[in-house]
Amino acid sequence: MAVRKAEVRRRIVSKDGHNNVRINNVEGMVKLYLHDIWTTVVDMKWRYKLTLFASTFIMTWFIFGVFFYLISMGNGDFEATLSSNHTPCLENVKTFTGAFLFSLESQTTIGYGFRYITEDCPLAIFTLVAQLVITGLAEIFVTGAFLAKLARPKKRAETIKFSRCAVVCRRQGQLCLMIQVANMRKSPLIQCQLTGKLFHANVTQEGEKTQVHQTSVNFFVDSSSECPFLILPLTFYHILDERSPLAGLSAENLHSREMELLVTLNATMESTAATTQSRTSYVPGEILWGYEFKPVIFATAGGRYVADFNFFDKVQVSSDAAFLNNAEKLKLEENYKKE
């Protein structure tokens, strides 16, 4: 159990696709985030975004309410005794509450007509114009960021399911590493492409050691590197030949290798033509040697196909004779059943 925890802690990408890398000691991090304020606001969590959305309105109402209150105070509108020819800047505004309500009514274009600016107070007119321009831009920005987050296909990626484990067995006479991917919605994903990255330690010819080295891992469906659409669960495979970055992988050295396989599915949603991306990763403890996936797709008597996800993460011993007497296979099978 302690070994598994250590492996989880050392993941670069979690099983649900989240980044596990923590960034420390970056000088001027706040300044960098403010330089790209649009991305910062769009990437905010919903609770912060809703707070920002509400506070943008409330704070602008309050700030310009203070301005109008100070303008009226400077004009002497709140004095106890006023001359008969005194013209207030804001009619029917006697308190700060009235100034706040005038600011709210002006910005939201409610315009009850009870509180209004007189034409003898140019400073109040200028403040009103400035309020409408400034708050209009602020509201456009915040509302645009709000809608941009709603339109992001991030939630669509959550309906893409990867198999919990990868398997290694023979396919068409070649040793392959295979993973299974499924679309959980009826609307198909088109122009799908699965790419892989192998993270592992590396030593260059010059003797330079790198903690994390990335190597591309190609995945295929049948004889093509792309699939036209994803409407049924598909099995993607990577051939373990001499050109593979996983060349030399065997049941004996699988668990002793320090590596992590990141797989990313890029696809286009048919309904909106927006692109979506989903990812997961596999560590050696999640790669089963000598297994194959159980069938997931079944035909019904009514002429329809059914994808039964009760079998999606189920595996079975490979029927290939080369794996039947493998002691490591039996050990992995026993561990898998315990999970």
Model pLDDT for residues 31-59, shown as the tens digit of each residue? 777 788 888 888 888 888 889 889 989 99
| d(C-alpha 127, C-alpha 111), whole Å | 16
Domain boundaries along the sequence of the chain? 29-151, 155-338
| d(C-alpha 109, C-alpha 311), whole Å | 59
DSSP per-residue string spanning 104-153: HHHHTT---SSSEE-TT-HHHHHHHHHHHHHHHHHHHHHHHHHHHHHH-T
- Supply the angle between the helices 46-74 and 122-151 in degrees, to the nearest 10: 180
User: Which pTM value belongs to this model?
Assistant: 0.69
| d(C-alpha 339, C-alpha 332), whole Å | 11
Phi, psi of 56 (to 5 degrees): -60, -45
Q: Which CATH architecture has domain 155-338?
A: Sandwich (2.60)
Residue 167's pLDDT is 92
DSSP 3-state assignment of 168?
strand
| d(C-alpha 279, C-alpha 197), whole Å | 11
Fold category of 29-151 in CATH: Helix Hairpins (1.10.287)
Strand pairing class (287-289; 166-171): parallel
| d(C-alpha 277, C-alpha 153), whole Å | 8
Residue 2's pLDDT is 43
| d(C-alpha 196, C-alpha 240), whole Å | 14
| d(C-alpha 2, C-alpha 82), whole Å | 81
Q: Where are the alpha helices (DSSP H) in 22-121?
A: 29-35, 37-42, 46-74, 96-107
For the chain, residues with pLDDT lower than 50 are 1-8, 327
DSSP per-residue string spanning 175-244: EEEEEEEEE-SSS-EEEEEEEEEEEEEEE-TT--EEEEEEEEEE-BBTTBS-EEEESS-EEEEEE-STTS
Residue 282's pLDDT is 92
